[in-house]
Amino acid sequence: MSGLIDLHCHMLPGIDDGAQSLEDTQDLLRSSAEQGVKRIIFTPHFYPERMDLYTFLRNRERAVEQTAPLCEALGIEYRFGAEVQITPILARLPLRELAFSGTQYLLLELLFDYEPYDVLGLIGRLRDQGYTPILAHVERYPYVAENPELLYRWVKAGALAQVNAGWVLHDGKAKKRLELYDRHNLVHLISSDAHSIDARPQNLKRGYAALNADLAEKLLTNASAIFENKAPAFAPPVKPERRFGRWR
């Protein structure tokens, strides 16, 4: 599959726990190009509670300026944004600076240890401001795995859900859970979340290849729409039900 779109990665040099140098960035971009990735959104981590926004924006601008010539040489179109950790103050921040550049989409990282307070309320406040939140790597939150009804509520409220290609490839239980999410229209995007060539590589091509053809086409169509700041067309979510100790 060619013409892939990566909406979540950490390839900008020296800005977070992803690429640490311009050489690392170049390696990741070359790997992306070899796999048929034509469009990338760079999403470095931003933690509102412990980082100064304007320092982050300056660092991101510098990293993008360094990376742009590499993208041009490889024929990769790019945008930039951030992977923003959820916080009650998020809706009061200048969201245009954190959303995917030129779009109304905003990538959010939830907390890993416990369900954040008032996710529904935050989704509503972001939507009221014209932004569509994308929930990053929803497979990584244990409370979502234990209760997929949470994901249903968030998607019903207007959020989109993204999964990582690495999960699809390496988690033995991923197939059944992904089938559950797909059956209930609770997954919209797949991305690499690439950090480094060795530890967390660009693996989007393999991730797409592991999906059934219909789901792969749907997720790629959604990614294209988001990169172009259009509204993806997808079916409304269906509430999962727990029967005999299993979610169906």
Q: Taking 80 as the threshold, does the pLDDT of residue 159 lie above it?
A: yes
Residue 1 pLDDT class (50, 70, 90 cuts): low
229: left (phi over 0), alpha (psi -120 to 50) or beta: left
Domains of the chain: 4-247 (3.20.20.140)
Q: What is the pLDDT of residues 46-77, one digit of tens each?
A: 999 999 999 999 999 999 999 999 999 999 99
Mean pLDDT of 217-234: 96
Residue 242 pLDDT class (50, 70, 90 cuts): confident
What is the pLDDT at residue 2? Answer: 67
Q: Taking 80 as the threshold, does the pLDDT of residue 171 lie above it?
A: no
Q: Taking 70 as the threshold, does the pLDDT of residue 209 lie above it?
A: yes
Q: What is the pLDDT of residues 108-155, one digit of tens each?
A: 999 999 999 999 999 999 999 999 999 999 999 999 999 999 999 999
Residue 226 pLDDT class (50, 70, 90 cuts): very high
Mean pLDDT of 223-238: 95
Residue 99 pLDDT class (50, 70, 90 cuts): very high
